[in-house]
Structure 1
């Protein structure tokens, strides 16, 4: 089995599992939809599992969003899953490809699309906002919007970001 096939297979499997979990969870939404103008949207790395659903709810229909994803090995897997949700990606992180990613993000915001960032990822520290997201919003004079979800019953992974996966 080729590496590319394996990545694509795992991405589809995770995508299906995410949908199954989402469909079996009770949801209560709070807050307003994102503005029609460009936004920098932030969410914690540990909430990545169901974040595409939160964006589907709070995002504007027909408006594009680009999720910033690292060049690391696991970033490729995440990028494939994100694309299955109909979101676009921009690749780069604070440690690799930062300047290219920042230039791409500037262009995306100029085109009136949203840039979605995990400000504490891909390596932490836990719930610490990196300068890049704030700098991006300041330079382009756009709003920072926060997306989050909580769960009463969940599995918590033993990882630096304390990733949670809601129980059905």
Structure 2
């Protein structure tokens, strides 16, 4: 049995990860760039998409101040690993919506993706939805069309969030995920987009991919983290 499939081990590791993330966030020296774009969305309230690449999931709670931003839920895959992440981020105030389009079983893939879309649209009527548009299996920094579709159907703004910290542990996962270390330098960079009138799905996806990668690269430039 894989350790993350054991609910006791999973719960313990999720608690440890949540506590570690909170400790790191409190001790990192953060630089914020173009946060006024996010502040305007937070002040307005309502639906919003919080978007970052999958490799920066462990940094993501640092970008959403629960004391003044609208409540947020995270769209997380149906895998056992996804359940572990869901339990960790829930401890930091971000309950999960479970869904994925990566399941090898086509019936389960369709059911999971449809339910995630339905639940995501429901959440966007009242608050924010955090989403990694290259997850849960990549390829890294390649945006699937689920995010633009959610923006088109809901009318919610998309906040592209570049997250970085140094020093950090870079895991050997498909996305080379970052795990923060304390007492370092961090950066959060923002960009804002809306689904354009008469927008083309492929063109919007390509444009949004570039913009999300750009804010992440800018955050890495601020912290001095090497790009991979």
Give yes or no for contact 1:51–1:148 (8 Å, CA) kept in 2: no
Residue number in structure 1 paired with 2:127: 113
Gaps of 5+ in 1: none
Q: Which whole-Å deviations, capped at 9, do the CAs of 1:28-76 have from their partners, x for residues lacking one?
A: 12213233131111111100112111122xx662622110000001011
2:225 counterpart residue number? none
TM-score norm. by structure 1 comes to 0.89
- Cα deviation for residue 142 of structure 1 reads 1.5
**The one of 43, 47, 51 aligned to 2:60:** 51
The 1:42–1:60 alpha-carbon spacing in structure 2 relative to 1, beyond 3 Å, is farther
Q: Write out aligned runs for 1:11-160 (5 A).
A: 11-30=14-33, 31-32=35-36, 33=39, 34-35=41-42, 36-56=45-65, 61=68, 63-95=70-102, 96=109, 97-110=112-125, 112-160=126-174
Partner of 1:151, secondary structure, is strand
Please state how far the C-alpha of 1:83 moved relative to its aligned partner: 0.8
Q: Which residue of 1 aligns with 2:177?
A: 163
How many residues are matched? 165
The question of whether the paired residues in 2 share the 8 Å contact of 1:12 and 1:81 is answered with: yes
Q: Going by fraction, where is strand more abundant, 1 or 2? A: 2
Structure 1 Cα separation of the partners of residues 7 and 169 of structure 2: 29
Higher helix content, 1 or 2: 2
Q: Over residues 69-93 of structure 1, what are the superposed CA-to-partner deviations in whole Å (9 max), with x where a residue is unaligned? A: 0000101101101110111211001
- Residue 205 of structure 2 corresponds to which residue in structure 1? none
* Structure 2: runs of 5+ lacking an equivalent: 103-108, 183-228
Tell me by how many angstroms 1:124 deviates.
0.4
Return the index of the structure with the highest Cα Rg. Answer: 2
Post-superposition offset of 1:151: 2.3
